[in-house]
Amino acid sequence: MSSFSKKIISWQKINGRNNLPWQTKSPYHVWISEIMLQQTQVKTVIPYFHKFINSFPSVRSLAKSNLDDVLAHWSGLGYYNRAKNIYLSSKIILEKHNGSIPDNYHELLDLPGIGESTAGAIMSLAFDKSGVILDGNVKRVLLRTSGNKSPINLSKTQKDLKKFATELLPKENFNSYSQGIMDLGSLICTPTNPECGKCPVKRKCVSFDLGLQNIIPFKKTKSQMKEKSINWILISSKDKVLLKRNDTKGIWQNLWLFPNENNFNQKKLSFLEKKETLPSMTHNLSHRKLSISIEKYFLKDKDKLSIDRRGYIWVNKTESVKMGVPKPVKTILENYL
Protein backbone atom coordinates (compact mmCIF):
# COMPACT_ATOMS: atom_id res chain seq x y z
CA MET A 1 0.00 0.00 0.00
CA SER A 2 1.35 3.46 -0.90
CA SER A 3 2.13 5.89 1.88
CA PHE A 4 -0.45 8.24 0.27
CA SER A 5 -3.30 5.77 0.71
CA LYS A 6 -2.10 4.79 4.20
CA LYS A 7 -2.22 8.41 5.34
CA ILE A 8 -5.68 8.91 3.81
CA ILE A 9 -7.05 5.81 5.54
CA SER A 10 -5.55 6.72 8.94
CA TRP A 11 -6.82 10.28 8.68
CA GLN A 12 -10.33 9.21 7.66
CA LYS A 13 -10.85 6.93 10.65
CA ILE A 14 -10.25 9.82 13.03
CA ASN A 15 -11.22 12.95 11.14
CA GLY A 16 -13.50 11.85 8.32
CA ARG A 17 -17.27 11.84 8.01
CA ASN A 18 -18.34 8.61 9.71
CA ASN A 19 -21.97 9.33 10.58
CA LEU A 20 -23.63 9.93 7.21
CA PRO A 21 -27.03 8.19 7.00
CA TRP A 22 -26.04 5.97 4.06
CA GLN A 23 -22.93 4.64 5.79
CA THR A 24 -24.59 1.35 6.64
CA LYS A 25 -23.96 -2.21 5.53
CA SER A 26 -26.66 -1.85 2.88
CA PRO A 27 -25.46 -1.65 -0.76
CA TYR A 28 -28.93 -0.32 -1.56
CA HIS A 29 -28.36 2.70 0.67
CA VAL A 30 -24.97 3.33 -0.94
CA TRP A 31 -26.45 3.12 -4.44
CA ILE A 32 -29.31 5.53 -3.72
CA SER A 33 -27.00 8.02 -2.00
CA GLU A 34 -24.42 7.93 -4.79
CA ILE A 35 -27.06 8.71 -7.41
CA MET A 36 -28.47 11.53 -5.26
CA LEU A 37 -25.00 12.95 -4.66
CA GLN A 38 -24.33 13.36 -8.38
CA GLN A 39 -24.15 17.14 -8.90
CA THR A 40 -25.67 17.69 -5.43
CA GLN A 41 -24.17 18.59 -2.04
CA VAL A 42 -24.33 16.26 0.97
CA LYS A 43 -26.34 18.68 3.14
CA THR A 44 -28.99 18.93 0.41
CA VAL A 45 -29.16 15.17 -0.11
CA ILE A 46 -29.56 14.04 3.53
CA PRO A 47 -33.27 14.97 4.02
CA TYR A 48 -34.16 13.59 0.58
CA PHE A 49 -32.32 10.37 1.34
CA HIS A 50 -34.21 9.86 4.63
CA LYS A 51 -37.56 10.50 2.93
CA PHE A 52 -36.74 8.22 0.00
CA ILE A 53 -35.56 5.30 2.14
CA ASN A 54 -38.57 5.61 4.45
CA SER A 55 -40.89 5.27 1.46
CA PHE A 56 -38.79 2.76 -0.52
CA PRO A 57 -36.82 0.72 2.04
CA SER A 58 -35.65 -1.91 -0.46
CA VAL A 59 -35.02 -2.54 -4.13
CA ARG A 60 -38.19 -4.60 -4.26
CA SER A 61 -40.39 -1.85 -2.81
CA LEU A 62 -38.86 0.62 -5.28
CA ALA A 63 -39.39 -1.69 -8.26
CA LYS A 64 -43.00 -2.33 -7.25
CA SER A 65 -43.81 1.39 -6.96
CA ASN A 66 -44.63 3.72 -9.86
CA LEU A 67 -42.57 6.40 -11.57
CA ASP A 68 -44.88 9.23 -10.48
CA ASP A 69 -44.33 8.35 -6.83
CA VAL A 70 -40.57 8.18 -7.30
CA LEU A 71 -40.52 11.55 -9.10
CA ALA A 72 -42.61 13.07 -6.31
CA HIS A 73 -39.98 12.03 -3.77
CA TRP A 74 -37.33 13.58 -6.00
CA SER A 75 -39.20 16.86 -6.45
CA GLY A 76 -36.85 19.78 -5.76
CA LEU A 77 -33.66 17.71 -5.97
CA GLY A 78 -33.19 18.40 -9.68
CA TYR A 79 -31.64 16.34 -12.49
CA TYR A 80 -34.81 14.25 -12.67
CA ASN A 81 -33.40 11.67 -15.06
CA ARG A 82 -31.57 10.33 -12.01
CA ALA A 83 -34.89 9.38 -10.44
CA LYS A 84 -36.12 7.78 -13.64
CA ASN A 85 -32.89 5.77 -13.94
CA ILE A 86 -33.11 4.61 -10.33
CA TYR A 87 -36.62 3.37 -10.98
CA LEU A 88 -35.61 1.57 -14.20
CA SER A 89 -32.53 0.07 -12.52
CA SER A 90 -34.57 -1.26 -9.60
CA LYS A 91 -36.69 -3.29 -11.99
CA ILE A 92 -33.59 -4.70 -13.69
CA ILE A 93 -31.97 -5.52 -10.34
CA LEU A 94 -35.12 -7.27 -9.17
CA GLU A 95 -35.46 -9.27 -12.38
CA LYS A 96 -31.82 -10.10 -13.16
CA HIS A 97 -30.19 -10.05 -9.71
CA ASN A 98 -33.04 -11.18 -7.44
CA GLY A 99 -33.22 -7.75 -5.79
CA SER A 100 -29.55 -7.59 -4.77
CA ILE A 101 -27.23 -4.83 -5.96
CA PRO A 102 -24.56 -6.56 -8.09
CA ASP A 103 -21.01 -6.49 -6.71
CA ASN A 104 -19.52 -6.70 -10.20
CA TYR A 105 -18.18 -3.51 -11.79
CA HIS A 106 -19.33 -4.31 -15.33
CA GLU A 107 -22.79 -5.42 -14.20
CA LEU A 108 -23.14 -2.11 -12.37
CA LEU A 109 -22.20 -0.21 -15.53
CA ASP A 110 -25.03 -1.97 -17.35
CA LEU A 111 -27.60 -0.30 -15.08
CA PRO A 112 -29.20 2.99 -16.21
CA GLY A 113 -27.63 6.05 -14.64
CA ILE A 114 -24.48 4.34 -13.37
CA GLY A 115 -21.22 5.51 -14.92
CA GLU A 116 -17.63 4.60 -14.13
CA SER A 117 -17.26 6.80 -11.04
CA THR A 118 -20.59 5.74 -9.53
CA ALA A 119 -19.79 2.07 -10.20
CA GLY A 120 -16.40 2.57 -8.56
CA ALA A 121 -18.03 4.22 -5.55
CA ILE A 122 -20.50 1.37 -5.10
CA MET A 123 -17.75 -1.24 -5.45
CA SER A 124 -15.57 0.38 -2.78
CA LEU A 125 -18.13 1.84 -0.37
CA ALA A 126 -20.73 -0.93 -0.50
CA PHE A 127 -18.58 -4.02 -1.04
CA ASP A 128 -15.08 -2.89 0.10
CA LYS A 129 -13.68 -3.88 -3.28
CA SER A 130 -11.33 -2.02 -5.61
CA GLY A 131 -13.04 0.93 -7.29
CA VAL A 132 -12.02 4.38 -8.53
CA ILE A 133 -14.16 7.33 -7.44
CA LEU A 134 -13.86 10.56 -9.39
CA ASP A 135 -16.40 12.97 -7.94
CA GLY A 136 -15.67 16.69 -7.77
CA ASN A 137 -13.95 16.51 -4.39
CA VAL A 138 -11.67 13.65 -5.42
CA LYS A 139 -10.73 15.28 -8.72
CA ARG A 140 -9.67 18.43 -6.88
CA VAL A 141 -7.48 16.46 -4.45
CA LEU A 142 -5.83 14.52 -7.27
CA LEU A 143 -5.20 17.54 -9.49
CA ARG A 144 -3.62 19.48 -6.63
CA THR A 145 -1.61 16.49 -5.44
CA SER A 146 -0.13 15.95 -8.90
CA GLY A 147 0.15 19.67 -9.69
CA ASN A 148 -1.88 19.12 -12.86
CA LYS A 149 -2.81 22.52 -14.34
CA SER A 150 -4.68 21.06 -17.32
CA PRO A 151 -8.31 22.25 -17.55
CA ILE A 152 -10.42 19.93 -15.44
CA ASN A 153 -13.22 19.89 -18.02
CA LEU A 154 -11.10 18.43 -20.83
CA SER A 155 -11.50 14.75 -21.69
CA LYS A 156 -7.71 14.22 -21.66
CA THR A 157 -7.54 15.57 -18.10
CA GLN A 158 -10.28 13.14 -17.08
CA LYS A 159 -8.31 10.21 -18.55
CA ASP A 160 -5.14 11.32 -16.77
CA LEU A 161 -7.06 11.62 -13.50
CA LYS A 162 -8.46 8.10 -13.80
CA LYS A 163 -4.98 6.70 -14.44
CA PHE A 164 -3.50 8.60 -11.48
CA ALA A 165 -6.40 7.57 -9.21
CA THR A 166 -5.91 3.92 -10.16
CA GLU A 167 -2.20 4.12 -9.34
CA LEU A 168 -2.96 5.46 -5.85
CA LEU A 169 -5.48 2.75 -4.93
CA PRO A 170 -4.56 0.66 -1.88
CA LYS A 171 -4.55 -3.14 -1.86
CA GLU A 172 -7.15 -3.26 0.92
CA ASN A 173 -9.39 -0.99 3.02
CA PHE A 174 -11.03 0.32 -0.13
CA ASN A 175 -14.03 1.63 1.77
CA SER A 176 -12.00 3.77 4.17
CA TYR A 177 -9.72 5.03 1.41
CA SER A 178 -12.55 6.05 -0.92
CA GLN A 179 -14.50 7.72 1.86
CA GLY A 180 -11.31 9.36 3.08
CA ILE A 181 -10.28 10.97 -0.19
CA MET A 182 -13.84 12.29 -0.66
CA ASP A 183 -13.84 13.65 2.90
CA LEU A 184 -10.43 15.25 2.37
CA GLY A 185 -11.77 17.17 -0.62
CA SER A 186 -14.94 18.18 1.20
CA LEU A 187 -13.43 19.16 4.56
CA ILE A 188 -9.82 20.19 3.93
CA CYS A 189 -8.95 20.49 0.22
CA THR A 190 -11.86 22.85 -0.44
CA PRO A 191 -12.34 24.82 -3.69
CA THR A 192 -11.16 28.05 -2.05
CA ASN A 193 -8.91 28.65 0.95
CA PRO A 194 -7.94 24.98 1.51
CA GLU A 195 -6.63 24.22 5.01
CA CYS A 196 -3.36 22.72 3.84
CA GLY A 197 -1.88 22.76 7.34
CA LYS A 198 -4.38 20.07 8.36
CA CYS A 199 -3.89 17.90 5.26
CA PRO A 200 -2.43 14.43 5.94
CA VAL A 201 -0.78 14.26 2.50
CA LYS A 202 0.53 17.81 2.13
CA ARG A 203 4.13 16.59 1.94
CA LYS A 204 3.18 14.66 -1.20
CA CYS A 205 1.24 17.55 -2.74
CA VAL A 206 2.91 19.39 -5.62
CA SER A 207 0.43 22.27 -5.36
CA PHE A 208 1.26 22.78 -1.66
CA ASP A 209 4.97 22.67 -2.42
CA LEU A 210 4.70 25.22 -5.27
CA GLY A 211 1.89 27.36 -3.84
CA LEU A 212 -0.60 26.46 -6.58
CA GLN A 213 -3.58 25.61 -4.33
CA ASN A 214 -5.66 28.57 -5.49
CA ILE A 215 -4.82 28.05 -9.17
CA ILE A 216 -5.59 24.33 -9.38
CA PRO A 217 -8.04 23.06 -10.44
CA PHE A 218 -8.14 25.19 -13.56
CA LYS A 219 -11.33 25.19 -15.62
CA LYS A 220 -11.55 26.17 -19.26
CA THR A 221 -14.20 28.86 -19.68
CA LYS A 222 -17.36 27.57 -21.29
CA SER A 223 -19.53 29.52 -23.69
CA GLN A 224 -22.19 31.74 -22.13
CA MET A 225 -25.14 29.89 -20.66
CA LYS A 226 -28.06 29.69 -23.07
CA GLU A 227 -31.35 31.31 -22.07
CA LYS A 228 -34.82 29.92 -22.65
CA SER A 229 -38.16 31.64 -22.13
CA ILE A 230 -41.07 29.73 -20.61
CA ASN A 231 -44.59 31.15 -20.57
CA TRP A 232 -46.92 29.33 -18.18
CA ILE A 233 -50.56 29.91 -17.39
CA LEU A 234 -51.78 29.15 -13.89
CA ILE A 235 -55.45 28.17 -14.16
CA SER A 236 -57.21 27.94 -10.80
CA SER A 237 -60.74 26.91 -9.98
CA LYS A 238 -61.63 27.31 -6.31
CA ASP A 239 -58.85 25.41 -4.50
CA LYS A 240 -57.73 23.47 -7.58
CA VAL A 241 -55.06 24.20 -10.18
CA LEU A 242 -54.52 22.59 -13.56
CA LEU A 243 -51.25 20.75 -14.23
CA LYS A 244 -50.04 19.08 -17.43
CA ARG A 245 -47.66 16.14 -17.65
CA ASN A 246 -44.55 17.00 -19.64
CA ASP A 247 -44.27 14.23 -22.20
CA THR A 248 -41.49 15.90 -24.21
CA LYS A 249 -37.85 14.91 -23.92
CA GLY A 250 -35.33 17.15 -22.22
CA ILE A 251 -35.62 18.91 -18.89
CA TRP A 252 -38.48 17.90 -16.58
CA GLN A 253 -39.58 14.94 -18.70
CA ASN A 254 -42.50 13.06 -17.04
CA LEU A 255 -42.94 15.82 -14.44
CA TRP A 256 -46.09 17.88 -13.93
CA LEU A 257 -45.93 21.50 -15.13
CA PHE A 258 -48.32 24.36 -15.71
CA PRO A 259 -49.76 24.41 -19.23
CA ASN A 260 -48.99 27.23 -21.66
CA GLU A 261 -51.24 29.10 -24.09
CA ASN A 262 -50.20 26.83 -26.94
CA ASN A 263 -51.90 23.93 -25.16
CA PHE A 264 -55.35 25.52 -25.65
CA ASN A 265 -57.18 27.08 -28.57
CA GLN A 266 -58.81 30.49 -28.25
CA LYS A 267 -62.25 28.98 -27.70
CA LYS A 268 -61.04 27.15 -24.61
CA LEU A 269 -59.20 30.20 -23.35
CA SER A 270 -62.40 32.29 -23.64
CA PHE A 271 -63.76 30.44 -20.59
CA LEU A 272 -60.95 31.84 -18.48
CA GLU A 273 -60.98 35.05 -16.50
CA LYS A 274 -57.55 36.66 -16.34
CA LYS A 275 -56.69 37.70 -12.81
CA GLU A 276 -53.11 38.95 -12.84
CA THR A 277 -49.63 38.68 -14.24
CA LEU A 278 -47.40 37.14 -11.60
CA PRO A 279 -43.81 38.33 -11.04
CA SER A 280 -41.44 36.72 -13.50
CA MET A 281 -38.81 34.37 -12.13
CA THR A 282 -35.43 32.98 -13.15
CA HIS A 283 -34.37 29.38 -12.64
CA ASN A 284 -30.78 28.33 -13.36
CA LEU A 285 -29.92 24.84 -14.52
CA SER A 286 -26.37 23.58 -14.99
CA HIS A 287 -26.48 24.33 -18.72
CA ARG A 288 -29.33 26.77 -19.18
CA LYS A 289 -31.01 29.84 -17.70
CA LEU A 290 -34.79 29.74 -17.67
CA SER A 291 -36.81 32.97 -17.72
CA ILE A 292 -40.33 32.12 -16.56
CA SER A 293 -43.43 34.30 -16.92
CA ILE A 294 -46.77 33.33 -15.40
CA GLU A 295 -50.27 34.55 -16.23
CA LYS A 296 -52.87 33.66 -13.62
CA TYR A 297 -56.42 32.81 -14.72
CA PHE A 298 -59.56 31.88 -12.85
CA LEU A 299 -62.27 29.47 -13.92
CA LYS A 300 -65.49 29.31 -11.93
CA ASP A 301 -66.55 25.90 -13.23
CA LYS A 302 -63.54 23.74 -14.09
CA ASP A 303 -65.75 21.26 -15.94
CA LYS A 304 -66.29 23.86 -18.66
CA LEU A 305 -62.66 23.46 -19.73
CA SER A 306 -62.37 20.35 -21.86
CA ILE A 307 -59.10 18.53 -21.09
CA ASP A 308 -57.54 15.18 -21.88
CA ARG A 309 -57.51 13.37 -18.55
CA ARG A 310 -54.53 11.28 -19.66
CA GLY A 311 -52.29 14.34 -19.74
CA TYR A 312 -53.95 16.89 -17.47
CA ILE A 313 -55.07 16.85 -13.85
CA TRP A 314 -56.79 19.21 -11.40
CA VAL A 315 -55.09 19.17 -7.98
CA ASN A 316 -55.04 21.23 -4.82
CA LYS A 317 -51.86 22.38 -3.07
CA THR A 318 -51.75 19.39 -0.73
CA GLU A 319 -52.11 16.92 -3.59
CA SER A 320 -49.45 18.66 -5.68
CA VAL A 321 -46.84 18.09 -2.96
CA LYS A 322 -47.20 14.34 -3.55
CA MET A 323 -46.55 14.67 -7.27
CA GLY A 324 -43.39 15.01 -9.31
CA VAL A 325 -43.12 18.75 -9.93
CA PRO A 326 -39.92 20.76 -10.54
CA LYS A 327 -38.81 23.43 -8.11
CA PRO A 328 -40.21 26.45 -10.01
CA VAL A 329 -43.69 24.89 -10.12
CA LYS A 330 -43.50 24.06 -6.42
CA THR A 331 -42.45 27.64 -5.63
CA ILE A 332 -45.32 29.12 -7.63
CA LEU A 333 -47.87 26.80 -6.01
CA GLU A 334 -46.61 27.67 -2.53
CA ASN A 335 -46.77 31.41 -3.12
CA TYR A 336 -49.70 32.01 -5.47
CA LEU A 337 -52.28 29.27 -4.95
Active-site positions read: 34
**Cα 175–10–172 angle (5° rounding)?**
40
The C-alpha atoms of residue 187 and residue 194 are separated, in whole angstroms, by 9
What DSSP designation does 287 have?
S
Contact 296, 236 (CB under 8 A): yes
Contact 16, 209 (CB under 8 A): no
By three-state DSSP, how is residue 306 classified?
coil
By three-state DSSP, how is residue 7 classified?
helix
Q: Where are the alpha helices (DSSP H) in 128-238?
A: 136-146, 155-168, 174-187, 206-210
- Residue 24: count other Cβ atoms within 10 Å of its Cβ: 13
- Residue 119: count other Cβ atoms within 10 Å of its Cβ: 23
Element at 295 (helix H, strand E): strand 288-298
